[in-house]
Amino acid sequence: MQESEFSLINRLFTRTDSSRNPFTRLGIGDDASIHHLEPGMELVVSTDSSLQGVHWPDDFPLDRAADRAVCSALSDMAAMGAETLCIWLNVMAEHSRAVERMAQGAMAALKRYDVELAGGDTCRSAINALSVSVAGQLPEGTAMRRDSAVSSDNIWLAGRVGWHALGLQQWLNGRQDGAFVPCFEVITPLLQTGIKLRQAGVGCCIDISDGLLQDVGHIAFASGVGMDIEITSVPGWELLCQAVGEDSASALVAHGGEDYALLFTAPDDVSLPDKLAVCIGHCRSGKGVSLLLDGEKTDIEKAGFDHFR
């Protein structure tokens, strides 16, 4: 007998290995969830969607695709410096087997990062897809925001950029054993790094999801500053050059998305823990973002990711 939708939900999306987060008064199983924030805390909320053929290749395993979808949504909490509280997960699937595979991946990610599933939905769809909403909290007025950079700040990067894009290229070219493929298969949200940055006094941050140049441009526009970035200073630059050459490495660093590194700005007097991040540039007065290659401005034509271009 075909398993019903509600039986699938009860079997696949219920965790028995952890207690409910105090933030949640009423969780999964009702028409809506109910939550409560402690005094002095602010709620941080984000939502994200992942679709087969857009955010992962058609031949990519559905459990790993769902794991990636959850982790990419969690990265938004890292970018704000928030403590993650819970998620709501909508699964759209071609058939019940796809629901099961995506549930396995999503629940594995939630268990790995000890995040509660507070609710969601499932439905049949022409394509496999997930929509993830995530909630976090932080002390009032402390969120790291895109509009908080100033012209005297330094620019820092925690994590790597360009590695995911090269791994995706190798996968699409049939090199599923390529050295960079694991960087595409697994997304690691820098949750604790984001909290540490906020606690250190960092006020401006973004996670690199659509490419370094495009995402840094969001900070420059929102903050009304110019930014100069030395791409040879990013972690792993030499390894990328060895793998694909300097020109391709430059394009990967500038436009390769979904590494979910944290790019942030901070004044000279902000004290950062050792090995947390590397300085890759400086803010300035004016507008726009300039990429430097060994101190010289360079033009890289290809644009970052855009869903409608």
pLDDT at 25 over 60: yes
Burial 141-174 (b: 16+ CB within 10 A, else e): ebbbbbebbeeebbbbbbbbbbbbbbbbbbbeee
pLDDT at 237 over 80: yes
The whole-number average pLDDT for the span 256-263 is 95
- Cα–Cα distance, 21 to 16 (Å, whole number): 13
pLDDT at 306 over 70: no
Q: Which H or E element spans position 289?
A: strand 289-293
The whole-number average pLDDT for the span 168-190 is 96
pLDDT at 224 over 50: yes
Domains and CATH numbers, the chain: 5-139 (3.30.1330.10), 154-297 (3.90.650.10)
Instruction: Please give the C-alpha separations between residue 202 and each of 36, 268, 294, in angstroms, as whole numbers.
Output: 27, 11, 27
The whole-number average pLDDT for the span 192-207 is 96
pLDDT at 71 over 90: yes
Phi and psi dihedrals of 168, rounded to 5? -65, -40
pLDDT at 293 over 70: yes
Number of neighbouring beta carbons within 10 Å of residue 79? 27
The β-bridge relationship of strands 289-293 and 226-230 is: parallel
User: Of the given ranges (18-27, 39-48, 190-199, 263-272), which has the lowest mean pLDDT?
Assistant: 18-27
pLDDT at 308 over 50: no
- Cα–Cα distance, 94 to 76 (Å, whole number): 28
- Cα–Cα distance, 262 to 73 (Å, whole number): 14
The pLDDT value given to residue 3: 64
With contact defined as beta carbons under 8 Å apart, do 110 and 87 qualify?
A: yes
The β-bridge relationship of strands 116-124 and 204-207 is: unpaired
pLDDT at 290 over 50: yes
The pLDDT value given to residue 275: 85
The pLDDT value given to residue 21: 78
The pLDDT value given to residue 28: 84
The whole-number average pLDDT for the span 282-299 is 94
User: Of the given ranges (6-10, 100-104, 163-167), which has the lowest mean pLDDT?
Assistant: 6-10
Q: What is the pLDDT of residues 98-141, one digit of tens each?
A: 999 999 999 999 999 999 999 999 999 999 999 999 999 999 99
Identify the residue with better confidence: 305 or 79.
Answer: 79
- Cα–Cα distance, 203 to 209 (Å, whole number): 19
Number of neighbouring beta carbons within 10 Å of residue 190? 22
Phi and psi dihedrals of 28, rounded to 5? -60, 140
pLDDT at 90 over 80: yes
3-state secondary structure of 19: coil
pLDDT at 200 over 70: yes
The pLDDT value given to residue 273: 76
